[in-house]
Chains A and B, each alone.
Chain A
């Protein structure tokens, strides 16, 4: 892999967002370097999802700016950010429940290849290439066997994997994953963990993820940002975060950190 460039993959500068009286994010700044796995942690209601939503164009932040690969995207519409090379999943998987797994992923591939607007059906050759690409993505998340089933029929963990494949279908450089393990059994957690590691190791993507499960965070992340009540409480390497008194007091159970 080429040496990571000096320009950060993603940069948030003093991002603030409130809902009525609730200041969900206040002056949150964060830099994600290219090629890293970066985790955002914090207690329930800390503002992690709100922050992700501000980064991905779900909300327009009230103050601050968001930069993607050196470009100011603060006001870019969400679909434009995907075109530029961002992908994301949601805390509650956002999928097309009645469509097959294949069709869920194919839509993104067509989007990337400028085929989604076509009124005429694709001719044989592009269609074959498209199918091959979908198979490749489904193989990556190990869903090949369920390709023709409606996503609604899949287990929660498999829906998460499908959503990850969808977020990859547009060939992003950076993926944002909001609690990819929430509500999953231990075996499914391991499956998703190895997929996330694969995003980084075999696809060379930059990953920013929110997660509560400390075992997952400490084993995957190179860098951790801790949010608490809408503010950045600490940022550092896993060992720095584990040793940070303020983080321990605010959030982390000591027993988890003994392992580090």
Chain B
């Protein structure tokens, strides 16, 4: 077994003990679930930012489409949990299939700005179509059962479900970025011109990367909605996209586990600090981000891995 596999198993085992450790480390299981789901959305941002070199400033659009897709299928079709999650993810993928053709030719800041613009369009749709989406208040619902009516997801059960989904997501992510397709994305990030001069239409790869990214974000959004038993237009807002990007950079963009590290710091940190002070979180987050850029230029995990590699070779 490789070092990487052992580390993966160790992390998953540690995460599995969270509900037991919860009273001692003062991290509520619901917050822990939120952090794992947030990490899936941060992975979605990471695929574009860290592996393809595109700024995903509109990924909240896919996150929100996932959330609303699940909520609407609960409201109109009264489906169970897994179906709602699948339908939410499908709506996010559909969104990417529609927006992808407009985005796939843009690079750098133009990609980022167009992504924000598309995201805000969905924000205003959710905000304005009150009859369907609940407008500013969003939609509240009670959590559906999972598959069969006897399977009710209370907070601890939900956490284990989130952990299973997270592990599946990160294994899929790892397989994708290590596949020939993922290697082509990394090459696009480093030198897109050369990729084209090796006979590959890089836009096709960017398009597929956007769709995969949307699937991760949509899945995260659908489950986050059902964790909170509510969805709202802020889930589609560009601040939400910014939080995913920030967490990715904090943990280490271009690394497989970086988004999890960043997401735990972000979600758990926000929860702890906002219980003491209202505005404090923004200031501390800002300071943390500046410190990260100065002391951990590749993010916390990225810089740690770099030091580790340097030690082994030197």
The chain A residues found within 8 Å of chain B, CB to CB, are 56, 77-80, 82-83, 87-88, 94-99, 103, 107-108, 110-112, 115-122, 166-167, 169-170
Pairwise interchain contact B180-A108, C-beta atoms closer than 8 A:
no
Cβ of A96: which chain B residues have Cβ within 8 Å of it? 187, 190-191, 194
Cβ of A112: which chain B residues have Cβ within 8 Å of it? 199
Pairwise interchain contact A117-B205, C-beta atoms closer than 8 A:
yes
Minimum Cβ distance to chain A for residue B292 (Å)? 21
Pairwise interchain contact B175-A119, C-beta atoms closer than 8 A:
yes
Partner of B200, one of A99, A116, A166: A116
Kindly list 7 other residue pairs between chains A and B, CB separation below 8 angstroms, not including A96-B187, A96-B194: A79-B196, A79-B202, A107-B195, A108-B199, A111-B198, A116-B180, A120-B175
Minimum Cβ distance to chain A for residue B176 (Å)? 6
Q: Answer whether residue B193 sits at the interface, using C-beta atoms and an 8 A cutoff.
A: yes
Cβ of A98: which chain B residues have Cβ within 8 Å of it? 190
Complex-state Cα separation, A111 to B194, whole angstroms: 12
A111-B200, A112-B199 known; A94 vs B187 contact (CB < 8 Å) = no
Complex-state Cα separation, A186 to B183, whole angstroms: 36
Complex-state Cα separation, A88 to B176, whole angstroms: 30
Partner of A56, one of B186, B187, B197, B204: B197
Pairwise interchain contact B179-A121, C-beta atoms closer than 8 A:
yes
Encode B197-213 as 1/0 by CB contact (under 8 A) with A: 11111101100100000
Pairwise interchain contact A169-B198, C-beta atoms closer than 8 A:
yes
Pairwise interchain contact B205-A79, C-beta atoms closer than 8 A:
no
Complex-state Cα separation, A82 to B190, whole angstroms: 19
Cβ of B191: which chain A residues have Cβ within 8 Å of it? 94-97
Complex-state Cα separation, A161 to B76, whole angstroms: 63
Pairwise interchain contact B197-A118, C-beta atoms closer than 8 A:
no
The chain B residue sitting closest to A130, CB to CB, is B180
Cβ of A94: which chain B residues have Cβ within 8 Å of it? 191, 193-194, 197
Cβ of B194: which chain A residues have Cβ within 8 Å of it? 94-96, 166
Q: Tally the A-B contacts, defined by beta carbons under 8 Å.
A: 83
The chain B residue sitting closest to A56, CB to CB, is B197
Minimum Cβ distance to chain A for residue B140 (Å)? 38
Q: Answer whether residue B239 sits at the interface, using C-beta atoms and an 8 A cutoff.
A: no
A94-B191, A95-B191, A97-B190 known; A117 vs B199 contact (CB < 8 Å) = no
Listed from nearest, the 6 A-B pairs whose CB atoms lie closest are A82-B199, A108-B198, A118-B180, A79-B196, A96-B190, A111-B199
Which of A78, A116, A169 neighbours the largest number of chain B CB atoms within 10 Å of its CB?
A116
Encode B149-181 as 1/0 by CB contact (under 8 A) with A: 000000000000000000000000001101111
Q: Answer whether residue B89 sits at the interface, using C-beta atoms and an 8 A cutoff.
A: no
Q: Answer whether residue B255 sits at the interface, using C-beta atoms and an 8 A cutoff.
A: no
Cβ of A108: which chain B residues have Cβ within 8 Å of it? 198-199
Complex-state Cα separation, A170 to B198, whole angstroms: 7
Pairwise interchain contact A78-B184, C-beta atoms closer than 8 A:
no
Pairwise interchain contact A116-B184, C-beta atoms closer than 8 A:
yes
Pairwise interchain contact B201-A77, C-beta atoms closer than 8 A:
yes
A117-B181, A120-B179, A121-B179 known; A99 vs B196 contact (CB < 8 Å) = no
The chain B residue sitting closest to A172, CB to CB, is B199
Pairwise interchain contact B198-A166, C-beta atoms closer than 8 A:
yes
Minimum Cβ distance to chain B for residue A173 (Å)? 13
The chain A residue sitting closest to B199, CB to CB, is A82
Complex-state Cα separation, A118 to B202, whole angstroms: 14
Complex-state Cα separation, A108 to B194, whole angstroms: 10
Pairwise interchain contact A110-B180, C-beta atoms closer than 8 A:
yes
Pairwise interchain contact B181-A119, C-beta atoms closer than 8 A:
yes
A95-B191, A96-B190, A99-B190 known; A117 vs B184 contact (CB < 8 Å) = yes
The chain A residue sitting closest to B204, CB to CB, is A117
Pairwise interchain contact A83-B199, C-beta atoms closer than 8 A:
yes
Cβ of B176: which chain A residues have Cβ within 8 Å of it? 119
The chain A residue sitting closest to B195, CB to CB, is A107
Which of B178, B180, B198 neighbours the largest number of chain A CB atoms within 10 Å of its CB?
B198
Cβ of B193: which chain A residues have Cβ within 8 Å of it? 94
The chain A residue sitting closest to B198, CB to CB, is A108
Pairwise interchain contact A78-B196, C-beta atoms closer than 8 A:
yes
Pairwise interchain contact A122-B180, C-beta atoms closer than 8 A:
yes
Complex-state Cα separation, A76 to B180, whole angstroms: 26
Complex-state Cα separation, A27 to B183, whole angstroms: 41
Pairwise interchain contact A170-B199, C-beta atoms closer than 8 A:
yes
Complex-state Cα separation, A68 to B176, whole angstroms: 36
Minimum Cβ distance to chain B for residue A152 (Å)? 10
Cβ of A118: which chain B residues have Cβ within 8 Å of it? 179-181
The chain A residue sitting closest to B208, CB to CB, is A117
Pairwise interchain contact B187-A107, C-beta atoms closer than 8 A:
yes
Which of A77, A80, A82, A119 neighbours the largest number of chain B CB atoms within 10 Å of its CB?
A119
Minimum Cβ distance to chain A for residue B61 (Å)? 24
Which residues 68-90 of B sit at the A interface, judged by CB distance below 8 A? Answer: none
Complex-state Cα separation, A120 to B180, whole angstroms: 8
A94-B191, A97-B190, A99-B190 known; A79 vs B200 contact (CB < 8 Å) = yes
Please list 25 pairs of residues, one from A and one from B, whose beta carbons are closer than 8 Å in the complex, sorted by A's number.
Answer: A56-B197, A77-B201, A79-B196, A79-B197, A79-B198, A80-B201, A82-B197, A87-B197, A95-B194, A96-B190, A96-B191, A96-B194, A98-B190, A103-B183, A107-B184, A107-B187, A107-B195, A110-B183, A117-B205, A118-B179, A119-B181, A121-B175, A121-B178, A169-B198, A170-B198
